[in-house]
Amino acid sequence: MAAITLDRVGKTYPNGHVAAWELCLEIADGELVVLVGPSGSGKSTALRMVAGLETPTSGRILIGGDDVTDTPPQDRDLAMVFQSYALYPHKTVRENLAFPLRMRRAPRMRIDERVAAVADALGLRPLLDRKPAQLSGGQRQRVALGRAMVREPRAFLFDEPLSNLDPALRVHTRAELALLHRRLAATMLYVTHDQEEAMTLGDRIVVMRDGAIQQAAPPLDVYLAPANRFVAAFIGSPAMNFFDCAVTADATGARLVCGALGVSLATGPDAPEPADVPGGGFAAQPGPAGPVSPAAGTAVHAAEPADRATAAAVAARATRRGRVVLGVRPHDIVLVGEGPADARGEVAVVEPLGAEQIVHVRMAGLDETVRVVAPAERRVTPDEPVGLRFRRDRLHLFDAETGARLEA
Amino acid sequence: MRRAVRWVPALAVAALVVAGLFPIYWAAVSSVTPESRLFQTPSLVPGRLVADHYRALFEQRNFWIPIRNSLVVAGATTLFSVSVGALCAYALARLRFRGKPLILAFVLAVSMFPQIAIVSPLFIVLRRLHLINTYPGLVLPYLTFAMPLTIWLLVGFFRQLPAELEEAAMMDGAGRLRTFREIILPLSLPGLATTAILTFLYSWNEFLFALSFTLGPERYTVPVAIALFRGQYQVPWGQILAAAVVATAPVALLVLAFQRRIVQGLTAGAVKG
C-alpha cells in the first residue's frame, strides 16, 4: 500500500478543452478518497491519470513517493475496477482472476492459492469455470473486484463500480466495499457521481467541478460546511435551498430579506433565539430529523459555523456588500403553523417518503419552491399556509457573486 | 392482393438466388457433360454424366501443379499480410501518434493504382531481384493489394473492441504486445478469419500479376493455367469448366466452414449487457 500525491496535475486536450486544472491532492496510505462530481467534472480524468491511462499535460503524480507521471499503467502496480467491469470475455472466471498474477510472472502455486482465496472471499468458487457472459451483473461485478484483489497492489482505483447494479444490490455492495476497505486497509481512490455513495464510503470526499477541486474534506465537514454554493447544492439530498438575500444592519445584528423571507441574525449573547420560543404548532413537532444529530454535529466538527453569533457576524460583514446567498438544507427547516417564523408560504406539493416527507413550499417573491423535510407524522395538505423556521446553527452564507462560503 | 404483396420480397430473393447460383450450376453441369454434347441444344437437366474432363485435367494437364502453386502463393500472402497487417492495424487503431489519418489514407491509396499501371515497373524490379517465376515473386506483388485490404478491415474490427478491455489488461500488468496477444487477438478471431478469407480469395483469383511474373507451367497459378488451356484452334470448354469447379470448390468450402465463426459474436459479455 502506498500514498498517492497529485501535484498541480492538469490535463488540457489538444482541442483546448481543460479536463483537469491544477489538481492538488494527498491521499494517505490506507485512506479511501472519493472523487465526486457531475458528469464532465473531470473526476474520471483524474482517476485515469493516476492509473496511467491518460497522460497529464502538467504537474506530477507520485505513488509511494515515486514520480510515476511518465510510467505506463502496467508498471504502476495499481489495480482498477472499471464501470463496465471489463472482464475478458474469452477467459473463464478462473483465468480472469489469475491474469494479473500471470502477467507478473507469479509462480503457479501462488496463483492457484491466491485465486482460491479470492474466490472463497467473494463467493465465486462455484463460478470459476464459467465465462463472463454466463454471469449475472452482480457476479460480474464481484469477479471484477476479485481480479483487483488477487494481487496486493499499491492502491485500488474504482471507476463508478456500482453504477451498473440495481439499487438493492448497489447498497449491499457498497457496504461490502466499505468492509473490504477496512479489512485490507488499502489506499483507495473511488470515482462516483452519486453523492450518497460518496458520503457513505469516503474517509474523505473530493468534490469536483469543471476539472477543478471544489472541496476536499471528510464527508460530514463537506455536508456541514460546504466550501461554496456548488458543493452545497451537490452534496445532500434533497438539495439545499438558496435564497438571494439583501442584507441590512438592524439593532441586534443583521437582517436578511428575500421576498417573504426575513431572517434576523443577532450578534449579542443574549439575543433571542426564535426557534426556542414555543408557540403555534411548533411545540407539537419533534426536532428536525437531520441525518446528523445536532449534538454530534457541533461537538465533533469544528468546521461548521460555531454558533449563531458567528453567522450574524458574517452577515453583518456582508452588509457592506449588500447581498448574500443564504443556504438552508431541507432537513434544517421546521414547519410551524402560527407564531414567529423566518418565512411564510403555502404548501405546493407533498412527497411522502415513508419515514419522512418532502414538503415543497411556495413563497411570494420566489420562483422556486422551498424544500422542507418534515417528519411523516406531521399532517400537511396542499395550499395550507405554513411558517418556516430555520435552525440558526445550520445556516450557510455564500458570497452573492463568487458563491464562496462566507466564514467568520 | 395483400397476399400477393407479401410474396413479392420472397420472389425477388428467390430470383436473386437463382441468378447467383445458376452460373455455378451451369459450370458444374457442363464440366460433367461429354464434349460432343456441349454444343448441342442446352438442357437444364444433364443427360449422360462423364468424368472425362476431370480425368483430362489431372492426367494430361497436370492440374495439380497450378493448384499447388496457387495454394502456396495465396497461403503465404494471407499468412504474411494477416500477421503483419494485424500489428499495423492495431497500432493504427489504438496508438496515439501524429499523422495517423494520413498513413491510413496512404495505405488505401497504394491499393488504388490500377494493376496494369504497375505491372511493368514491378516486372523490372522483380527481374533485378531475380524473383521472376518464383513464389516470392508473386507473394510480394500480392501484398500490395492484400496489405491495404487487411489493414483497413482489421482497423475496423479492432476499433469495435471495447477499449476498457485493453486498459484493464494494462492495469493488470500486461504491456502493449502482451495485451495484443492475450486479449485483442483472441477476441478478434472472427475479424481475423474474415480478413484471411478475403485476402486468400483475392490472391487465389489474381490473374494479371500471375500471368506477368510467371514464365512456365511449373509456376502457373490456377487462373493463369485455365486461361492458357485455350489452344490455337479450339477451346476445351469442358476442361475449362472442370478447372473452374476445382478452383472454386476449396474457396467455397473455406467460406462455408468459417461462416459460423464469422457470425459468432465473441465479445458477448465482455462489458455490461
pLDDT tens-digit series, residues B162-219: 899 999 999 999 999 999 999 999 988 888 888 888 899 899 999 999 999 999 889 9
What local confidence, expressed as pLDDT, does residue A296 receive?
34
What local confidence, expressed as pLDDT, does residue B260 receive?
66
Tell me if chain B has a CB within 8 Å of the CB of A78. Answer: yes
Q: B43 and B72: one domain?
A: no
Contact across the interface for B164 and A137, Cβ inside 8 Å: no
Lowest mean pLDDT among B44-48, B55-59, B232-236: B44-48
- Distance, CA of A232 to CA of A150 (rounded, Å): 39
Range of the domain at B7: 2-50
Give the percent of chain B with pLDDT over 70.
92
Q: Looking at residues A345-362, what average pLDDT do you find?
A: 93
Q: B72 and B180: one domain?
A: yes
Q: Is B220 exposed, middle or buried (0-12, 13-18, 19+ CB in 10 A)?
A: buried
Tell me if chain B has a CB within 8 Å of the CB of A53. Answer: yes
Residue B101, in any domain of the structure = yes
Q: B224 and B143: one domain?
A: yes
Residues of B in contact with A84 (CB under 8 A): 162, 164, 271-272
Substitution target in A50, A57, A84, A101 with the highest count of B β-carbons within 10 Å is A84
Kindly tell me if the per-residue pLDDT of A240 is higher than 60: yes
Q: Looking at residues A168-178, what average pLDDT do you find?
A: 89
What local confidence, expressed as pLDDT, does residue B119 receive?
92
Of A87, A77, A72, the C-alpha closest to A146 is: A87
What local confidence, expressed as pLDDT, does residue A261 receive?
86
Tell me if chain A has a CB within 8 Å of the CB of B174. Answer: yes
Q: A357-381 pLDDT, tens per residue?
A: 999 999 988 888 999 999 988 888 8
Q: Looking at residues B19-38, what average pLDDT do you find?
A: 85
Lowest mean pLDDT among A267-276, B49-58, B140-149, B179-188: A267-276
Q: B149 and B215: one domain?
A: yes
Cell 446567498 belongs to which residue? Answer: A325
Lowest mean pLDDT among A219-228, A288-297, B163-172, B242-251: A288-297
Phi, psi for residue A235 in degrees, rounded to 5 = -95, 135
What local confidence, expressed as pLDDT, does residue A307 receive?
54
pLDDT mean across residues, chain A: 85
Q: B39 and B115: one domain?
A: no
Q: Looking at residues B110-133, what average pLDDT do you find?
A: 91
What local confidence, expressed as pLDDT, does residue B269 receive?
38
In chain A, whose CA is at the least distance from the CA of B187?
A90
Q: Please name the residue ranges forming H helices in chain B.
A: 2-31, 52-59, 64-94, 100-110, 115-128, 136-160, 163-171, 176-179, 185-187, 189-205, 208-213, 222-227, 237-263
Residues of A in contact with B165 (CB under 8 A): 86, 88-89
In which region does residue A311 sit, left (phi positive, over 0), alpha (psi from -120 to 50) or beta (all else)? alpha
- Distance, CA of A86 to CA of B162 (rounded, Å): 8
Provide the number of CB pairs (under 8 Å) joining chain A to chain B.
86
Assign A19 to helix, strand or coil: strand
Residue B268, in any domain of the structure = no
Q: A259-295 pLDDT, tens per residue?
A: 888 888 765 444 444 444 333 333 333 334 333 333 3
Q: Is A403 exposed, middle or buried (0-12, 13-18, 19+ CB in 10 A)?
A: middle
Q: B141 and B197: one domain?
A: yes
What local confidence, expressed as pLDDT, does residue A287 receive?
38
Contact across the interface for B162 and A80, Cβ inside 8 Å: no
Assigned architecture for domain A4-230: 3-Layer(aba) Sandwich (3.40)
Pair A345, A243: CB distance under 8 Å = no
Q: B134 and B8: one domain?
A: no
Q: Looking at residues A13-31, what average pLDDT do you find?
A: 93
Q: Looking at residues A138-142, what average pLDDT do you find?
A: 92
Q: Give the pLDDT band (50/70/90) at residue A158.
A: very high
* Alpha carbon B94 to chain centroid, angstroms: 27
Residue B189, in any domain of the structure = yes
Q: B243 and B116: one domain?
A: yes
Q: Give the pLDDT band (50/70/90) at residue B91.
A: very high
Domain count, chain B: 2
Pair B242, B134: CB distance under 8 Å = no
Q: Give the pLDDT band (50/70/90) at residue B257.
A: confident
Lowest mean pLDDT among A57-61, B191-195, B231-235, B238-242: B231-235
What local confidence, expressed as pLDDT, does residue A263 receive?
86
Nearest to B269 among A83, A132, A164 (CB): A132
- Distance, CA of B14 to CA of A363 (rounded, Å): 72
| CATH number reported for the structural domain that contains residue B199 in this entry | 1.10.3720.10
Q: Would you say the pTM of this structure is higher than 0.90? A: no
Q: Looking at residues A93-108, what average pLDDT do you find?
A: 94
CA distance B267 to chain A (A): 6
Radius of gyration of chain B (CA): 23
**What count of other Cβ atoms lies within 10 Å of the Cβ of residue A269?**
8
Q: Which of B13, B28, B50 is the last residue of a domain?
A: B50
Lowest mean pLDDT among A133-147, A177-191, A290-304, B251-265: A290-304
Residues of A in contact with B169 (CB under 8 A): 88, 99, 103
Q: Assess whether the previous peptide bond of B148 is cis (omega < 30° from 0).
A: no
Assign B154 to helix, strand or coil: helix
Tell me if chain A has a CB within 8 Å of the CB of B181. Answer: no
Q: B190 and B223: one domain?
A: yes
What local confidence, expressed as pLDDT, does residue B264 receive?
52
Kindly tell me if the per-residue pLDDT of B153 is higher than 50: yes
In chain B, whose CA is at the least distance from the CA of A165?
B272
From chain A residues 123-142, the ones with a CB under 8 A of any chain B CB are 131-135, 137, 140
Kindly tell me if the per-residue pLDDT of A135 is higher than 60: yes
In chain A, whose CA is at the least distance from the CA of B166?
A86
Assign B97 to helix, strand or coil: coil
Phi, psi for residue A258 in degrees, rounded to 5 = -150, 100
Q: Do domains A4-230 and A241-399 have the same CATH topology?
A: no
Substitution target in B171, B176, B189 with the highest count of A β-carbons within 10 Å is B171
What local confidence, expressed as pLDDT, does residue A390 receive?
92
Kindly tell me if the per-residue pLDDT of A192 is higher than 80: yes
Collect all residues with Cβ–Cβ distance below 8 Å to A109 and sequence separation of at least 6: none
Q: A43-85 pLDDT, tens per residue?
A: 999 999 999 999 999 999 999 999 999 999 999 999 999 999 9
CA distance A100 to chain B (A): 5
Domain ranges for chain A: 4-230, 241-399
Q: B69 and B194: one domain?
A: yes
What local confidence, expressed as pLDDT, does residue A79 receive?
95
Tell me if chain B has a CB within 8 Å of the CB of A40. Answer: no
In chain A, whose CA is at the least distance from the CA of B269?
A133
- Distance, CA of A321 to CA of A386 (rounded, Å): 31
> What CATH class has A241-399?
mainly beta
Residues of B in contact with A52 (CB under 8 A): 170
Cell 489488461 belongs to which residue? Answer: B169
Tell me if chain B has a CB within 8 Å of the CB of A42. Answer: no
Kindly tell me if the per-residue pLDDT of B270 is higher than 60: no
- Distance, CA of B184 to CA of B94 (rounded, Å): 11
CA distances from B134 to A236, B127, B131, B222, B229 (A): 77, 11, 5, 15, 21
Q: Which residues sit opposite A35 in a β-bridge?
A: A191, A206
What local confidence, expressed as pLDDT, does residue B168 receive?
95
Q: A299-347 pLDDT, tens per residue?
A: 333 334 445 556 666 766 666 778 889 999 999 999 998 888 889 999 9
Q: B130 and B191: one domain?
A: yes
